[in-house]
Structures are given as structure tokens and as C-alpha cells.
Structure 1
Amino acid sequence: MQKLGYPARTIIVFAALLALAVHWVVQPFGKQWIWLSTVCILVFAASLVGWRTRQLSRARERSTHILKALGAATVDIPLNLRTRMPLVLVTGDALASLFDHGASRPRLVFIGDGAIWLRVDRPQDLPEIALAMHQWRDGLPPDGVVLSIAPAFHADADALAQRLRVARQALADASRVVSARLPGYIAVYQRLTRLAPRDANAARQWYSVAAGVPFIDAKRFDAIVRTAEDEARRRADDRYASAHAAALASIIGWTQRAVFGTLTDPRQPAAPWALHGAGWIDCGPASDATRPWERDVQMQTCIAPATVDATPAPWPLPQSLIESMPRRRATSPRIVALAHAVGIIAIFAGAAFIGAGRHNAKLLDRVHADLDRYVSITPDHDAARRDALRALVADRDELDRYARTGVPLKLSFGLYHGAQLLPPLNAAIASYQPPPPPPAVVTLDSMSLFDSGKAQLKQGSARVLVEAVEMIKANPGKRILVAGHTDNVGDAASNLRLSNARAAALRDWLIEASAIPATQFAVQGYGDTRPIVPNDTPAGRAKNRRVEITLVPDTANNTN
């Protein structure tokens, strides 16, 4: 039964929804680009979901026959044991000789001693099959990839190098899709000598080295050669042992140069193989002096190796290589997904906290700026002071609304400090005092009160002065300034004396008519120094001949 594996699409949708929620509710980056960023989030999430869906569909289509074969081959293996057994993907040369074992049709799965061997006919299929195995094993990737190399199957070293580059790229892609670096192993199948061993099983013996970590260590390979040489010395009368030891040293050296170099060269674009082991066996296809290894031997020794016949199938799988295979801990993909979900929540919670902090900082800066602006405006600039006061009232109402109905999410998360600004806002608003009203002024035409050049009130002028008397009686407690003005006709000094005399005459009449003490009155003559219109026309000069009665608050009597 194939399990669901890692719910990548669910995690993508969850992350997208969380991003949209934080973006719209908390608005950590402001409102300027909210719609554009929303579209970007939706398009990016939809693209990821579509890509993942296509990837899984393609892997499922290409591995359907393998999954069926796996199900049939592992039907008797308990589910928990199936997950713990090493699963090895085998690709490269001579797969029919390794898997078919005389079967009427190609076999895809072989259950060996403690391992599941899975056949991958094309190295390019490694990513899809690795992903399918990742799903089939409930989130556990394959334990390793074995590259089977039969040098005699290749026309020359360049053709072999090209196949190796394809395998290198395929393993890099497979490691990427399963998010794990897959261990790589090399199994070299090559007839080393045409001689037959005394013990038929000797030709089926693997000479290998493997480790739990990647290695390229010439000393490890030297140990294999020394083992074969020691065996040849013990069996000095066995020509096969001597020829086998010499050929083994040659094939190991050739493998290091021709195979390991291509798979691990850091200058290649694909990621190098994580090489965990390599093995050689005197077993393989028919070979002659035109094959890559034989050519290398001839170049090194000037001796052409003899033609050899193919080893009858089946050929053994490199069981010794997987004995040191690193074992992975099986972690349920749902547990991994839960951990990722928690991490995503933590990331967006951090974004929400950052956004709330920024919004709170802007709120505090705005309110403090409004308070500083209000305080900096002097009372004599009342229009600007009223504008600043309106801003303070709006700030106070906003903070009061938050106190009554709750703080919005974009300001909350324990970062809201607006409540502490309410007292200074209320105090600043209460401190506003409107300016006193401007002095009341009554302007009287001098010609209606006085004859030209005279300072005595004319008969009948009382009717003109009734309004002034009523204004004075309606504003008790205010000082009364009586000021006289003339046009510019005549001598300035005479005009000044005349304006002062007319103001004094009007003051005396007002004292008598209103019964207000003389101490409340002040008299001032300005002559022609304060015209209200130019004196260049008769109408202008007529307007400038006037007497003004101004009511001024008595600061001595109205101080609180």
C-alpha cells in the first residue's frame, strides 16, 4: 500500500493562506503594495502547487510498474520491516544479468539478504523513481544508488565518460527531489583473466571497500590489492591467483582515473557523487583488446590482454557494499510537515510582531508629533492652534475607540502603548483657551459731529451718538478709548491738536450721557497719521475724518 508521504501541497497552501492573513490583517509592510503582493503570493503558491502536482503525477506514471512489482515482491514482508530494510536503486550496465535470473520477462525487484534491490533501466529515471520510493516508504528516501559498470559494454573511454556524466546528473536530481543526499556506490563487472580458478566460487568473490561517510581514499584501495596479493602468495602454485591480483590492481587504478574522476570532479556542473563504496568482481561480459580497460592496460604495460568470454548469468549483486550503508532514521512525513508548519507559523508570527511594532511606532510618533506641534504654536496664532487641536481631538478619539472596542490586530500582540497617551492628550485639549474677542469699535463721521475746524459738538449730534452710548452700557467693566483722526489738509500739528480736542469733547459728552466714571475713559488724538484710505480724493479725505470709540477689556479688573 502506498502511503501519502509528505503533504507538500497542503503545506504550500497553508503557508500562502497564513501569508495572506498576516498581510491583510497586520499589514507588516503597509498598504501601498497590498494588492500587488497578494497577486504575487497567489501566483507563486499556485505555481508551486502545480509544479508539485506535475512532479508527483509524472513520478507516479513512470513508476507504476515498479510500484506494482514492489507490492508483489514485498507482499510477505511486514510493513514496518519493509521500511527498515535497505532499499537500493541499481542502474547502469548489465541489469538483465543482475536481475532476470532466467525469468521469462524482465524482473524489476530482487529481495536479497537483508535488502531490497530495485532496477532502474535508465539513469535519467532515477529522480522520478527515487521520489516514488520516498512516497512508498512513507517519507524515507532510498538508502543508496548502485551504478553498475561493465567496461566491456562501452566502445571507448569517452562513451563511458558520457554515461557517467548522465548518471552523475541523475543522482544529483534524485537527491534534490527527495531532499536528501543519496549515497552512491560503484560496482565494476569485468573479466580480469581468461584463466579459471581452482575454486569456482573465487570468480564470484567481491573485492570491495565501503564506509558510512563519503570517501575517495587510495589507501583503502591499496588494502584490497594487498589482500589479493597475499592470497596469491599463499597460493603460489595457482596461476589464476597471480593473474587475478595483477589484473585487480590494474582495474582499481583504471576505475579511480576513469570513473571516480568523472563522478567526483568538482569542476563538473552537477553535484559530485557522495561515493560511499566501490567493488570489483571477476565477472562480466565478453571482452577483447578494443575495450576501455584493455586499452588502458595496453597503454600502461604495452601488453594486450587476451580475449575473454562472458560470465554466464546471473551475476551477483554487490551485497558487500551495503553492509556499511548508513541507515536513516525513519521519520513520518506528517511529523516533518507538522514541524514545518510550526516553523512557518513562527516565521509569520515574527512578521506579525515586526508589523505590529512598526504600526505602534508610527502611532506613537504621530501622536507625539501632533502634541509637539500644538505646544509649539503660540496663542496669538489661533487658526494654526485650532488646526493642531483638531488633530489632537482625532488622535484622542482614535485611542478612546481602541480602549472601548479593542485594539486592532495590526497594533496588538502585546506591543500597544497608546493608552498611556490618553492623559496628555486630554490635558492638552483641555488647556486650549480661545482668544479674547477683538475690541468693539464704533466709527463716527467727524463732519456729522463737528463743524469744519471746530471741536464743539454740533446741535443734534446726540442722535448719532445713541448707538455708542448703548454699546458702552452693554459692556460694563471695559475701558473706553476715544480716538480722533483728521485728513491731511492743513498743518499736521494743527490736525493733531484738533483730533485730540474732538476726542476730548466726545469723551466729556459720553461721561455725562452714560454716567460712567471718567477713569474708564482714555483720549487719543492721531491727526492725519492713521488714514484708512488714501487722502487723494474728497471721498477718501471724508472717510479719514472720523472719531473711533473702542471698548478694551480692563485687564486689571478681569484677571482670574
Structure 2
Amino acid sequence: MRDVYRSLLTALGTILALWLILGFWPLSTDSRVAPSLLVILVSGVMFWRQRRASQVRATAVRDIVDENLPPEDFQGAVILVCGDNAPLFVSGSRHRETRQGWYLWVKDTEQLPILAQHLSLMRPALVSQISVMLAVVPEQHTSGDDFTQNLRGWQRAVVQCRAAFGTLPPLWTVTWVSPPVACAEAEPLWFTTVSQRSGIQVYQLGQGNVSLTEWTRETGSDGRLSRLSQGLWLDSLLAWQSCAVNDLLSVRQGELPALPRRCGVSRRRVFWRYAGLLGGIFLALAMLASWINNQRLIRNVGDHLALYHQLTGKPVAPKLHAQQRLRADGALLDDWQRRGEPLRYRLGLYQGFRLLPPVEAAVSDWAPPPPAIKKIIQGPKTIRLDSMSLFDSGKSALKAGSTKMLVNSLVGVKAKPGWLIVVAGHTDNTGTAQLNQTLSLERAAAVRDWMRDTGDVPESCFAVQGYGDSRPIATNDTPNGRALNRRVEISLVPQANACQIPGKDPASSQDDDASQHNGE
């Protein structure tokens, strides 16, 4: 289960890192490839190392059965029993639960640090409740040097547990001895040492605990001699244990009930902590990237506005180029306002809505002189007007400031008998086809009404058409292309009996062509 949580954290970190690089961080398309590949490579290495570690750990703990481990919500002490531990366990059993705690059998010095690491991974909430108990049966050790070497091996194994627990676990010792035959009594006795009392305590059924000194005085001379010899034997045993075992191992004093109970953190809680940490880091970096993107947007549009206002229009080309760049900026901001800004500008930091009004006002503030207008005429009889310069986004009413552009653009369009003034409106593919067709027709009608009212031209001289997004002149996949598709086109079409002005004879189309060319 620990490996599953680690794999989930690695997958979560990979997803958030890729999302940050591809969706938020201010990098070009080509610049995103290398960081993305690096994240994928690092994630692959981490998955491989986790799998290898899992396999190595599974091989190392093959003798450890998880059914022998205490449950994760166990409240008592967890004791790893080392040394001569056979008397504490039933034959074939590897654990034992008592009122004092949960005892785990340890095979040898090599298994102790492995079991400690396995417990820290599988039961992290119980780490603070774990201690080590060294059991000693003196009768099984015939060589003092071998016994000392054995104790030092267990001491090194306990020190190696520091890597798994973060600190040295408490160490206890227990010694099982058989009393001398001369000291045996009919009634069973228990000799113990209690931390609250000094010296050896004797427990006898029906009498409770008494000190060893009092116990040796309770009977006659023969019995007293026997008990005195038993006391001397016990004192020598304690001296041996203190010298041969406790001093060598630096055993901590205390009792099992004094160990902490249920102070650790479970694997699930650790997982959610790390997941929350990864989410917090991602959110902070994403907000930083969004702020950088918005600052770049403000700086770029601001630079375009500043350059546009600095140019006087003489020569016309630089001013016209700056205006076209502002139109592209306005088209992009207008598209984001209708459809929603990209993810990299979000998280509550988007500032584009404040840039659109000054951009639209700047574009409408200046129009190039007629020679520059002739460059955008498509054919000798067609004039194209930019809808963004004439109308607000989604509107069909002429906005303030558009009159100057209309006057400059339509100065050469005059009502003549035999010619029909065709006003056609076009849009990009944003929105539904029905709404686009209606909007294009209404915009063409608005231009027709202005020409009719301004030049006192009869309504019979006009034809109004709305094509919506059916006749694009550029691609709708880019902001510049959509800006070019939003237009109103005015053309003169020869048609008999069109635009008959009272008091004037119909003229032939050849005369009209000649007069138009002379006027130009």
C-alpha cells in the first residue's frame, strides 16, 4: 500500500508539472518541449526506482508476514523481541498479543533493521510506539566472548533502526534463569525489579510483593539460610546482568506502559499532506505564471498604443502599420471577451478587459488619407470598410468617430443612373450562422442609411445584402484573419433602370465608366 501511495504522488506531481508547463508558464511552443520531456524522464526514473525498491524490499522481508503485524490503529506498545526469544512465543508463532503490548519475533540481527524499515513503511502511525526487547537465557551461552560478541551484534542492529525510525528505539532486556536446586521452594515465587521501588521484590501467592530483605527474615534459621542464599544468588545475577548486558548495551530504564500511544501519522494522512503540498506549490507557481502573462500582455498592448500615438501619420505607412497591429490586438481581446480568455491568463488575474476600450478608441481616432485608402480597394468598383472601425463588438449601430472614416472612404462613390450601389456586410465565424447573417445585414443597412441621408441619395440607388460568415477573405483560425473577415463592402454594379434621379436622362454604362474614370 505504501508503494501505491508513492506511485500516486509521483503521478500527481507529473500531471501538475506538465499542466504548469503546457497551460500556464510563459514559454513558446518549441520551448515547452524540453521541460515536458525532462518531467516525463524524471517521472519514469522515479517510477522505475520505486519498483526496484519495492522488489528489493519484498525480497528482504520474505520471512515477514503482514498478518503478524499489529493493526494500524493499535493503541499499545509494539515490542520487537530479539535474542533468546523462543520462551516468549508458542512454537510456530511469530507474534503474541498481551495486555502490555504486541510482541514480534525477530529471527536474527540482519532481520531487525529490515523489520524496522518494513514497519515504518507499512505501519508509520505506530513508529513512536515501537521498542526493542533483548531476551537472554544465560544457560544457552557457554562462552563469555561469544556472548559479548552476540550482544554487540544486537547493539549494531538496534543502531541501524535509526534510519527507519528517525531515532534510536527504546531498548529493554529480559533474563530467564533457573534457580539453584537448593534454593527451590514448594510455593512458586516471582523475583522482579520495579522502577518505583529499590532492590528486588518477591511476589508470593497470597502475600503480594515484599522486599528481598523482608522476605529473608520471615522464617526460621534453616529457611532463612535457604532464602539468604537465594538472595545472594539473585544479587550476583543482577550484578552480572548490569555488567554484562545493561552496561554494554546502554539500556534505557523505564516501563512499557510509559511508551507513547497512538502519536504517529497514518499512510493515508501522509499521502494527503504531500498531495496538499504539491497542490499548493502548483497553485502558487500557476498564479505567478498567470501574473507574468498578464504583465506581458499589458506591456505589449501598452507599447503598441504608445507607438501609435507618437506617430503623426506622415509618412502614412508607419502609422497605418501601427493601426493594423492595434486592430489585431483589439480583435484578439474582443475574441477573448466573448469566448473567455485562455487558461494561462486566468486565476482571477486577467486584465485584458481594461485594455479593449483604449485600443478601440485609438483605432477609431485616425484614418489614413485617400491615397492610402485606394490600396485597400478590391477592384475598381469595390470599397472595403473595417467593421471594427465602424461598429462596437456585436452591435450594428455606427459608433461615434466613424463619420470621418466614412467620408474619407466613400468620397468617390456617387449615385449615377444605371448603376446600383450594393452594400454587403460580412462577419467572421464567431457565433451562430443565423446571428452572423442578421448582424451583417443590419450593419450593411446602417452604412446604406448613412450614405442615403448624408448624400440625399434615393433609396432606389441601393441594394443591401448580408452574407454573414459565408464569404471569408482570410482564415478564421487566427485573430488577424477574423479581423479581415469582419467588413462592409460597397460596390457599383451596372443595372438598367437603377438609380433613376428625377430630371436626368438615363446614361449608358460606357458614359458612366468614362465619367467615373475622369472623376478619379
Matches within 5 A, 1:116-155: 116-126=102-112, 128-130=114-116, 132-133=118-119, 143-148=129-134, 150=136, 155=146
CA distance in 1, matches of 2:213, 2:42: 67
User: What is the TM-score with the length of structure 1 in the denominator?
Assistant: 0.51
- Asked whether the 8 Å contact 2:311–2:319 carries over to 1, the reply is yes
1:335-374 per-residue CA deviation (whole Å, 9 max, x = no partner) reads 5534543443333222221211111111112222222233
User: What is the TM-score with the length of structure 2 in the denominator?
Assistant: 0.54
Query: For residues 18 and 199 of structure 1, do their structure 2 counterparts lie closer, same or farther at Cα, with a shift above 3 Å needed?
Result: farther
Is 2:341 the partner of 1:355? no
> Hey, what does 1:446 align to over in structure 2?
none
Matches within 5 A, 1:167-316: 167-169=158-160, 171-175=161-165, 183-187=169-173, 189=175, 205-207=191-193, 231-234=211-214, 235=216, 238-241=228-231, 244-245=234-235, 248=238, 251-252=241-242, 257-260=247-250, 277-278=252-253
Name the SS of the counterpart of 2:78 in structure 1.
strand
> Hey, what does 2:7 align to over in structure 1?
9
CA distance in 2, matches of 1:368, 1:352: 24
Matches within 5 A, 1:365-376: 365-376=299-310
* Unpaired segments ≥5 residues, structure 2: 203-209, 218-223, 373-520
Q: Number of residue pairs matched?
A: 350
> Hey, what does 1:52 align to over in structure 2?
50
Which amino acid in 2 is paired with 1:55?
Answer: A
Q: Which has the higher contact order (CA 8 A, sep 6+)?
A: 1
Selected match of 1:325 from 220, 235, 259: 259
**What's the offset of the Cα at 1:409?**
0.5
Is 2:43 the partner of 1:109? no
Query: For residues 208 and 36 of structure 1, do their structure 2 counterparts lie closer, same or farther at Cα, with a shift above 3 Å needed?
Result: farther
> Hey, what does 1:389 align to over in structure 2?
323
Selected match of 1:23 from 12, 21, 24: 21
Query: For residues 393 and 197 of structure 1, do their structure 2 counterparts lie closer, same or farther at Cα, with a shift above 3 Å needed?
Result: farther
- Asked whether the 8 Å contact 2:135–2:174 carries over to 1, the reply is yes
Which amino acid in 2 is paired with 1:35?
Answer: V
**What's the offset of the Cα at 1:58?**
4.0
> Hey, what does 1:94 align to over in structure 2?
84
CA distance in 2, matches of 1:59, 1:200: 52
CA distance in 1, matches of 2:116, 2:147: 30
- Asked whether the 8 Å contact 1:134–1:142 carries over to 2, the reply is no
1:349-400 per-residue CA deviation (whole Å, 9 max, x = no partner) reads 2222121111111111222222223334454465544444343233222212
Selected match of 2:280 from 342, 346, 349: 346
* Unpaired segments ≥5 residues, structure 1: 75-79, 210-222, 261-274, 280-320, 439-560
> Hey, what does 1:417 align to over in structure 2?
351
**Percentage of identical aligned residues:** 21
1:171-198 per-residue CA deviation (whole Å, 9 max, x = no partner) reads 123326xxxx684322153879979766
- Asked whether the 8 Å contact 1:374–1:388 carries over to 2, the reply is yes
Say which is worse superposed, 339-348 or 421-430, in terms of deviation.
Answer: 339-348
Which amino acid in 1 is paired with 2:339?
Answer: T
**Rg bigger for which structure?**
1
Query: For residues 196 and 142 of structure 1, do their structure 2 counterparts lie closer, same or farther at Cα, with a shift above 3 Å needed?
Result: farther
- Asked whether the 8 Å contact 2:199–2:212 carries over to 1, the reply is no
Which amino acid in 1 is paired with 2:9?
Answer: I
Say which is worse superposed, 39-48 or 237-246, in terms of deviation.
Answer: 237-246
1:434-453 per-residue CA deviation (whole Å, 9 max, x = no partner) reads 47979xxxxxxxxxxxxxxx
**What's the offset of the Cα at 1:327?**
1.2
1:150-205 per-residue CA deviation (whole Å, 9 max, x = no partner) reads 49675376774454223311x123326xxxx6843221538799797667999964
- Asked whether the 8 Å contact 1:147–1:185 carries over to 2, the reply is yes
- Asked whether the 8 Å contact 1:91–1:148 carries over to 2, the reply is yes
- Asked whether the 8 Å contact 2:128–2:261 carries over to 1, the reply is no
CA distance in 1, matches of 2:60, 2:163: 16
1:213-251 per-residue CA deviation (whole Å, 9 max, x = no partner) reads xxxxxxxxxx77556799454347624435644763674
1:396-434 per-residue CA deviation (whole Å, 9 max, x = no partner) reads 222122112211100011110111011111222233354
Query: For residues 423 and 259 of structure 1, do their structure 2 counterparts lie closer, same or farther at Cα, with a shift above 3 Å needed?
Result: same
Name the SS of the counterpart of 1:148 in structure 2.
strand
Selected match of 1:166 from 127, 140, 157: 157
CA distance in 1, matches of 2:249, 2:96: 26
**What's the offset of the Cα at 1:147?**
4.1
1:91-141 per-residue CA deviation (whole Å, 9 max, x = no partner) reads 5422334435xx3xx542223335331112134334543465567769655
CA distance in 1, matches of 2:189, 2:253: 17
Query: For residues 13 and 207 of structure 1, do their structure 2 counterparts lie closer, same or farther at Cα, with a shift above 3 Å needed?
Result: farther
Selected match of 1:398 from 324, 332, 335: 332
- Asked whether the 8 Å contact 2:97–2:103 carries over to 1, the reply is yes
CA distance in 2, matches of 1:392, 1:206: 93
CA distance in 2, matches of 1:374, 1:172: 70
Say which is worse superposed, 341-350 or 251-260, in terms of deviation.
Answer: 251-260
